A = this chain, B = another copy of it.
Amino acid sequence: MADLSIKDIAEIAGVGVSTVSRVLNDHPDVGAKTREKVLQIIEEYNYIPNNSARNLKRSSTNNIGVLVKGIHNPFFSQMIKAVEEEINKKDYSMILHYNEKNSNDIEVAIELIKEKKLKGLICLGGDFDDLENNQLLNLKTPIVLTSINITEEVNKDVFSSVIIENEVAAFEAVDYLCKLGHKKIGLVSTGEGDKNVGRLRHEGYKRALKANGLEYNEDFISFAHYTFKSGYESMNRLLDKDLDITAVFVTSDIMAIGASKAILSRGLRIPEDISVVGFDGIEYSEYFHPSITTVKQPVEEMGRKSTEILFHLIEDKKEQQHIVFKTELLERESCKKLK
């Protein structure tokens, strides 16, 4: 049978449609007995309100967009999962969209918001810096940037954000290697084009070297992007230089796994010959052999918090929030103390 409408329910319950609507939306002025009866009929006939009609009338949807740059990174898969769970609890729908590597994230976001009439958007990774004439601002849709570094101070009034202390975290990681006695520490990191988290991790590396009286040398840097393969190749380029590095900091776990593979494939040992520290704390790094010491981001928490902020923005129209999470260095098998 065709779906029941609110009119049918009203008729069955012997009340007006507006009354049913009020019950449905928890509006106050409806008598207790009437409310009870209507609720019972709804239950009995398994009535589900038509969302399209609702959305049309309310001129908005229940759609939350999630825009992801770099699906292949399990770090984001995990985050998506957490986000989905939160969204689902509140009876919104998650519309997932993956961004190509070279797409203009801002443009895609705008189009997505307009086209799907999104009520809010969460962006996982990507670049949202070059905001021209407040395109995004005047469509008034709340946006949360997660794992994205906002460089322009002014943009903090446009977006909310959830992030970690990338610079500090990287500092701690490299400082850890220094304290273990390493003097020649390589860096495998995302390129200079990366104004986002990659740059900050790079900065942390620099600062840690300096703090430990070591010289920063560009020869020790090799660029990559967020894939196994790129980490592998980048590490190989670094090793080809014969710099006798004893440790390497890699700014993401999947790259760290690629890099580790490169090291091991050459017959070098981890950590005996080269120590490795990764970044992210995905499960993969724990099950690599040897397990990889890494900087763990509280990924689920970050996902949940992002969603929570978004709902605040949507429901209460509060001002933007900027949350910074702490990270934790997980010591595992991939690092060795030099004597």
Contact = CB atoms under 8 A, between A and B. Distances in A.
Interface stretch (A9-17, A28-36, A79-87, A238-246): A79-87
B265 A228 contact: no
Contacts of A48: 114-115
Contacts of A289: 260-261, 264-265, 288-289
A154 interface: no
A95 interface: yes
Nearest to A88: B97
Contacts of A288: 257, 261, 288-289
Contact of A55 (B52, B59, B80, B232): B52
A80 B81 CA distance: 13
Given A77-B72, A114-B48, A232 B61 contact: no
Interface in A43-82: 48, 50-53, 55-56, 59, 61, 63, 71-72, 74, 77-78, 80-81
A59 B74 CA distance: 37
A228 B116 contact: no
A61 B53 CA distance: 11
A48 B112 CA distance: 11
In the assembly, how many copies of this chain are there? 2
Contact of A98 (B53, B85, B115): B85
7 residue pairs, one from A and one from B, having the closest CB atoms: A52-B55, A52-B56, A264-B289, A228-B287, A261-B287, A96-B96, A71-B81
25 contacts: A51-B117, A52-B52, A52-B56, A52-B117, A55-B55, A56-B56, A71-B77, A71-B80, A71-B81, A72-B283, A74-B74, A74-B77, A80-B96, A84-B98, A88-B97, A93-B95, A94-B95, A228-B284, A228-B286, A258-B287, A261-B291, A284-B284, A288-B288, A288-B289, A289-B289
Interface of A: 48, 50-53, 55-56, 59, 61, 63, 71-72, 74, 77-78, 80-81, 84-85, 88, 93-98, 114-117, 228, 232, 257-258, 260-261, 264-265, 283-284, 286-289, 291
